[in-house]
Every structure is written in C-alpha cells, then in structure tokens.
Structure 1
Amino acid sequence: MSRADLVEINFDGIVGPTHNYAGLSLGNLASKRNAGQTSHPRAAALQGLAKMRANIALGLRQGILLPHRRPDTGWLDVLATDAATPGPLWPAATSASAMWAANAATVSPAPDSADGRCHLTVANLVTMPHRSHEWPGTLAQLKLAFAHEAFAVHGPVPAPFGDEGAANHMRLCDRHDTPGVEVFVYGEGGGPFPARQHLQASGAIARRHRLNDAMFVRQSDEAIAAGAFHNDVVAVANERVLFAHGQAFADKARFFAELRERLPSVEIVEVPAEAVSLKDAIASYLFNAQLVTLPDGGGMALILPTEAQNIGRVWEWLEALVAGNGPIRRLIPVDVRESMANGGGPACLRLRVVCDPATVDPRFLVDEAKLDRLAAVIEAHWPGSVHPDQIETLGAWPDAVAARKTLLEALDLSELV
C-alpha cells in the first residue's frame, strides 16, 4: 500500500550566530583538528542556505529547524554556574551544534508504523556534554512543526542509553511512500572513542514507533576508531539503495543477506576498502552525503561536500560509479566548509521526514522567497568571525541572542524565543 501524498522533506538546521570551533566532540576528528581556529558564522549560515536553494532547484521539498538560544544560561544555572563568569562549562553552553539536524530525532514514516502515524523521537545526545542539553529546544520545535494528528512526537530515551538520532538510522523501501525496513545502527566501542548510539536506545525507539520491520546492526569498531562517530559517516540509504563503505558494519555479510531477504529489490552499492580507505572516506565525508531521488525521473543523486573532489581516489571512484549503469546518476558538490571544519557534512545538516507537506506547520517550510528573507537577517545580524578565545569575554553574548530573536520574528516563531 502506498500514499501518493507522502513525500520526503529535508529539514536543514540553520547555523546559529555562536558557531565556533571549540573542539568539543570526542571522536570527531575534524572537530578536534580545527579546535581553536576562527569560525565564520555568517558564511556558515549562508552556505547552509545555498545548499537548501540547490535542493529546491532540483525539485526537492525543503524545511528548516532553527538555532537554539545560546549561550544556554538556563543550563548553566542548573549547574550553579554564573553565566557572567567565564569557566570550563562556557564553551559547552555556547555551542551551535543544533545546526546538525540529523541528530535532532529519529523519524519513522507512517507506512512503517502499526498505527499509521509518522513518529519522531527527539535524540537525547547524552554522550557529549555540549549536546546533552539540546533536546528540550529541539523538542519544542518538533512539537510545533509536527503538531498535526498525522504525527506522534516523543520525548527522549532516558539516560544512560545514548541516542543520537537519524545519523544512526537508515530506511530502505521501494519508494518513500511505501512500507520500508528501518535499520538502526548501534556501536559497542572503537579504540579511544565512545560508541554514541546504544542498542537499548535503538530498541526503545523501534518499540515506541510501533515498527512493522526493524533491524539492529552493529557498526564496526574499526569505523568508530577511524573517526566514524556516527553511521552516516560511513553509510547512507535512500529508497531501495544502500551506499556504504566495506568496513562500515561489524557483520556485513549477515546484514546484507538479511536485508536482501526483507527487501528483495534492495541495491547495495559498496565501496571496497581497497578502492577508498576508511581514512579517505572520513576525510572526504564521501558517505555523509544526501542521497536523494530526483523528481524528474533522473535516478538518484549524491549531494556531497566539495572536499570529496580534493581526494583523487575518492573522486575517481565516484566518477566511475556514475558512469556505470547503477542507481546513482549524478554527483552534486556543495560548499559547506564551515560545517565540515567542525565535523558535519551535507547529511549532518538535515533531518529527513516523509510526510504530507500539508500536515507540517508552514512556518517550518521554505521556498526561495523565504530563504531570501532569512539571508537578509543573517547578513545583517550574524557575526562575520568568532575565535574561541572570544567566547570567554562575550559574557551572555547579547548580540547572538538578539540575532536569533530577529530570525525567529522574521519567521513568526516568537514563541520559541
């Protein structure tokens, strides 16, 4: 059974005015490598808008999620920390990491659930202190955007069971509007780096969402140790296609065999380690791409970071891929270098929701005209540059708070202030 009114909408996180490189994310190699560098919040936000414009030009539906209030003085208050006095918690209270909307929630479309509703569970992000206080702000947005009875919005899985949302979740199906197999990828370890997605959290979400067909697959320790802190750094799925690195999963043969049994139409496009090493895959964010179905019948496209063009073996493999007769027919590089420098590629910036657009609060949907309005606000109010050393001298950062408020007012979303 299918529902023709269901389409995929990419909800991209708008980069907030406090975007900075404080190196807070253990296991995220780019975040650590660029710690202490000068960031450019205005450029970062405009790069994100340009990616959204490119998606709209392809005929894709586009939505947004908004920056959270930062610094999070409420979080500091709970920790009995004076928001006016710099301290070790200040960078974690200031992070703009909610920009990576792939970590906002796990989404199960209506065709997959027993009750015929689209379910969203906000991610708890408990593993990393700077992200652990995001979920209340994200949940407030999800409850507004998806208030229609077609949706069921759930609070976070309780600690200590770590859940990092759609970045560790894949859905495979014949078409977006038909029932699919939902794949939850969890970790156990990875050298010095923690596994961020726990099996218990994934199981709880599958039960909450009343899924008809769910699989639980372990990410390989090698991938985590190499810097694949989320599954979406080494694998991405779209409709019937799974695009993955050969070392992404702990028991690849068993997973692939079972997936083929559950979805006989599945096409697995595997990049062997001999062709592209884990190191190169992670440096290029080859798999942290948006794999999308082009509405004009032109097959699928990979929307990937321009960094993928800079590693010869990666780009050569991709060009050979699209020259073949496979399902992926186009490569679309996009400039998201400010996000990439903090460890987030095109896929990190978006949350995919399959639903009827008419059931979504229209304030969270965008077209070219609305993006023009947002760009004007960002140009006028986002700082041109921020150095991490400045964070300790900006106090409660009133300019950043005011900039975000102006953006929310432009969208008629003042209830989120």
Structure 2
Amino acid sequence: MSPYRTSRLIALVVGAILPLFLTSGARADDAEVLPKGVSNAYLGNFFYPFPTTDRFNKHGDTEPIANAFDGRRLDSTVFPTLLGPPLPPGTNIGTSFIKFRYDYNILNFGASYGITDRLAAGIDIPYYYAHNKVKASLDPSGATLGIGAGGAFAFCPCGGPGQPRPVNTDDVQQLLRSRFGFKRVESFTDDGLGDITALFKYQYFRTEDWRLATSLGARFPTGRQDDPDNLADIPWSPGNYAILLRLHNDYVLSNLWKERPAPSGAGPVTRQEGDLVVNFTFRYDWNLPTDVTVRISDASNPITTNKESVTRKLGDKFEFELSGRYYLLKALSFTGLYRYAFKVEDVIRGHRFNTRALEEDTDSNEQLYILGVNYSLLPLYLEKRFPIPLNLSLTYRDRFAGRGTSNAASPSQILKTRYINFTLSVPF
C-alpha cells in the first residue's frame, strides 16, 4: 500500500473510531450481551497474506478467477462478427492468456452498547482496500485473422511482406473498448467503505449452563458494487439491503465436570481457568430486491453488448456455525470454529433480454474453519492491576470448500480465500 493510501486509511480510522465510542452496537456471535450502560469499541484488520487467485465452480472444483479468458481461443464464440457476418468455424485472432490476483486488506471497526442487562445494540463498519493484479497477453500463433490495410481485420497468412500483421494485445484492448464498451483490461485498485451492518441482540434465556440470545438487524449497501463495463474490477457489495436474523446458543460444557458452575448473574460472565464453552449460531440473511445494471451474458463468455438495468433478488443465505472456546488461563483462551453456509438461487428480471444465464449456478455453498487465540486484560483490570480492559484476538480463517457460479461479475461467486485477523476491543 502506498504511503498516501496508508495515511488516508489512518485518517479515516481516527475520524471514524471516535464517534463509534458514542454509537451503539452488538456484533459478537456468542449469546452474551453487555450490562446496561456499558459500551465496547473494537478495531480489527483482516489481512490477506495469501493472494486470491481461484474460486469454486459449480462442481466444487477450484478454477482461476479469470478462467473465462485464460487460454481462450478468441474465435467466433467470443467475437462472432469481427468481419460483419458470422465467421466460419475456427476463425480466430489468437489465444488470450489472462491472470487475476486479488489482494485485500480490510479494516473493521464498530461499537456496542448495553441498553439493558439483556438487550444490546450495535454497528459494524468495514473499510476495504482491494487490488487486482492483472497479467494479460495475446499469442497470435495459429491465428487465421490479422490486421490489414486501414486497420481492418483480414485473413492470414500474416507477418510477411504485404501481408496483414498479427493481432496484438493492444488491438484486443481497442476492440473491447470500441465495439463492446469495456474499459481497458488492466490492474485495478480501489478502496472505500464496505456494507454497514446494524444489529439488536436480546438475551432471552440465562442459566448456569446456558445463554440463549437472538439478533435482528439490517445490512446497508454502502460498499462498492460491480462496474459492468470493467472486466477486472473488484466489487465488495451486492448492492442490496438485507434483513438479518441470528440465533445464538452458548452451553458451558465444562460445568459437567467442574465443581463450581459459572454464575448466572446479569451481564457477561468472567470465565475461569478450565472453562469450555460451545456455541451454535444460526444466521439468516433475507436479501431484498434491488435494481442493478448488468451485462446479459453467460459465465463462459462475458463479452457482450447486451446491457440493461434489471431487478435482482439475491438468493437468501443460511449459515450454520459450531464453535468452542477453551480457557487455558483466566485471561487466555483458544477457539475453533466450523461454518457451513448455503444460498438459494438468484432471481433476475429484465425487459429486453433473457436473464436466465445470469441465474444459473448462483445457488452456492461454502465451508470454512477459523482457529484463534484470545487474550483479555479484563481480569487484571477488575483486580486493578491494569489500567485498561483491553481484549486482543488473533484468528486464521480458511474457506476450504464451496460451490458457485463462474461468472466473475456475480456477487454469488465463491472465492477461495484465507486471511489473518487481528482485533483489539475496549469495553468502557
């Protein structure tokens, strides 16, 4: 990241974190809620040290993100009317080779506030930095078309005296711009806010063994959406509002063998050495319809002039998460998590073109795991041995399996990603 972008991000963090101390929020996926009148602010960084180059296709296999273009013979299946009428089978201008490498860095900040001892509210605000490193070239060997007099396409043989010259990469870039309205296919960089999430969490059941809570909230489309005229851009928002439901279920498993069960008083429990807490969380995202401008094409060939504003109902998403946290020490805990999620098929309705190809294979699923370590200074703070009740966490997440569309412009594609997250939180 350039020094300019770094300073810009730091300024945004400083400018945003101060008002968050006055903003309510509730983000944790366990069933705990803050006591009445207590706030919590956090700042996290999702760092992707492993470049993202692949996604999961409809069969669950990995494939390059730029698979539709890489090693592709540029023939009549890609450009059917280079010379006006349909081209004979086998007519081509060469073979394209394209690689996409996505690099992300995401800052995440928010806050929570205990309205009562059982009800909390909160906000979560991500900020994205995204870069797509593009390598694009054209191999004209085997081409049957070249560039003739006046810059028009002409049949080969090519390269000799008085013959058409071979098509090069810049010729293809010009073709995409002039005939299809696409921007130049080149490396892409952008940054900005992600989709903002706001939730209310209510803890409706609390005993020595159990904590049960439910969250209800919304996601707001404040992030960057796909540019239909840019084949190499990186969107990080589907562009729609969503209603969010969460069911949180905590069980203190160690109470089965420990002599002193965890207390059931109000507010979060101060865990003890040897505590083992298991959690099951169910999430449901009800995605609301929205109007978006898209290219009407299929995943195998996104090169088309068919573009219109359509109504898209992104498929609803369901997540099932099982996790456990073991407290090796009063202040030190380790976590392990497994999540399975699936999304139903998108529904897309236009007026001029058949949109069925955009809906195909958008019923996706994914599996991931998270491993983490957490160190809390809250016990030392309560004992007046440390001035600030800081909480530090370090996690590693790996999306190791999935299935989805091969359309890079669709928000339903499932990227094969790994990241490391560091989060600092402070209750006050």
TM-score interval, normalised by the smaller of the two chains? under 0.3
Q: TM-score, with normalisation over the residues of structure 1?
A: 0.24
User: Rg: which structure is higher?
Assistant: 2
Q: Whose strand proportion is higher, 1 or 2? A: 2
Q: Whose helix proportion is higher, 1 or 2? A: 1
Higher relative contact order (CA 8 A, sep 6+): 1
Q: TM-score, with normalisation over the residues of structure 2?
A: 0.24
